[in-house]
Amino acid sequence: MTTSKDIHVPSLEVDPAILSSDDSSTDDSGSIASSTTSVAESILNYRRLHGRPYSSSHTTEYWNPVDDVQNEAFDFLHNAHVMLSDDKLFQAPIGDDPAIVLDVGTGTGIWAIDFAHQFPNAKVTGTDMNATQPSWVPKNCDFIVDDVLLDWSFPVNHFDFIHMRGLYGCVPDWTALHDKVFAHLKPGGWFEHVETEVKLESDHVKLPPDHVFNVWADLFYTGGEKMGRSFAIAGGHQMKELMEKAGFVEVVERKIKMPMHGWPRDKKLREAGLMGQLALDQAIEGLAVFLLTQIHQWDHDEAIAFTNKFRLETRKAANCAWLWRYVSMR
């Protein structure tokens, strides 16, 4: 797999107290909490796997469970993303008055709702194959249950800003999806795509090849290949190259180290890391069980044992772990 070693991003500075502490497994992220509720009936068929609901459509079987536990974790992760972006919902220079905005793969709808609050004159639409958005939303925000891999019903040259985040493992043809974005964006409009890596790395701890962080990542990479839906989209310069292939010019890419846990010296990074750790800790089983049992054909008990092993390592602040967060925009 390609990496982004040619993009120089300095090491995150670790809090010395973390490295000197005898108790490196303390997880103090639980003090940060949020919640979300579900809404309207979905037009999709739901099935249950090991007691949790999963959705399917004409184009895919979604690998993440669709329930309050997982959705709450996604909201925690959203807040971690915002913290890492200096409390901004986006990085593209869209101006002060975007009129028509689309959030592709909106999930719980939290980004679209926050954006609608920030820009009350904008018309914000969120699309997702699951109806997991709250029923109480700003007047200028609505949600559509739709599979973005199918034909879009929106007019061409329609949106001032299109935002897309966290679709790794869901898209068989990224070129086709970026072509749709390009066609439905107004000339001069902005497109921002955000993805994170699945591989946890460290600047301060040497992780051996058989470390559970590396095994976890390899299982996702190979599982994505088997599904025909890559989990490695944030690697190298793929997102920038895909946008350029679709016709976007002057594409800007940014690689950001997203800490996991409260080990950074910097206060804001530490808070973002705690929020990210809280999200990951809650989401781990949901992230992995479908992939391990349905794609890799593991026994369910074996999958749970592996996720527990991974969880224990993520709770060790002294691992100084982080993920790549990739932002590509035009």
| Confidence at residue 52, expressed as pLDDT on a 0 to 100 scale | 74
All structural domains of the chain: 16-329 (3.40.50.150)
For residues 163 and 185, the answer to whether their CB atoms sit within 8 Å is no
| Confidence at residue 37, expressed as pLDDT on a 0 to 100 scale | 30
| Confidence at residue 42, expressed as pLDDT on a 0 to 100 scale | 39
| Confidence at residue 264, expressed as pLDDT on a 0 to 100 scale | 97
Considering 1-15, 99-113, 122-136, the range whose residues carry the highest mean pLDDT is: 99-113
Q: Tell me the per-residue pLDDT of 264-320, one tens digit each, with 9 for 90 and over.
A: 999 999 999 999 999 999 999 999 999 999 999 999 999 999 999 999 999 999 999
| Confidence at residue 169, expressed as pLDDT on a 0 to 100 scale | 93
How high does pLDDT run on average in the chain?
87
| Confidence at residue 22, expressed as pLDDT on a 0 to 100 scale | 52
| Confidence at residue 55, expressed as pLDDT on a 0 to 100 scale | 67
Identity at 81, one-letter amino acid code: H
| Confidence at residue 11, expressed as pLDDT on a 0 to 100 scale | 78
Q: Of the ranges 15-29, 51-65, 119-133, 226-240, which one carries the lowest mean pLDDT score?
A: 15-29
Q: Tell me the per-residue pLDDT of 12-49, one tens digit each, with 9 for 90 and over.
A: 888 777 766 555 454 544 433 332 233 334 344 566 67
Nearest to 174 by CA among 124, 125, 224: 224
| Confidence at residue 51, expressed as pLDDT on a 0 to 100 scale | 72
| Residue recorded with tokens 């839906």 | 229
Q: How far is CA 196 from CA 24, 125, 255, in A?
A: 25, 23, 10
| Confidence at residue 59, expressed as pLDDT on a 0 to 100 scale | 57
Q: Tell me the per-residue pLDDT of 127-159, one tens digit each, with 9 for 90 and over.
A: 998 888 888 999 999 999 988 999 999 999 999
For residues 66 and 130, the answer to whether their CB atoms sit within 8 Å is yes
The reply to whether the predicted model has a pTM over 0.75 is yes
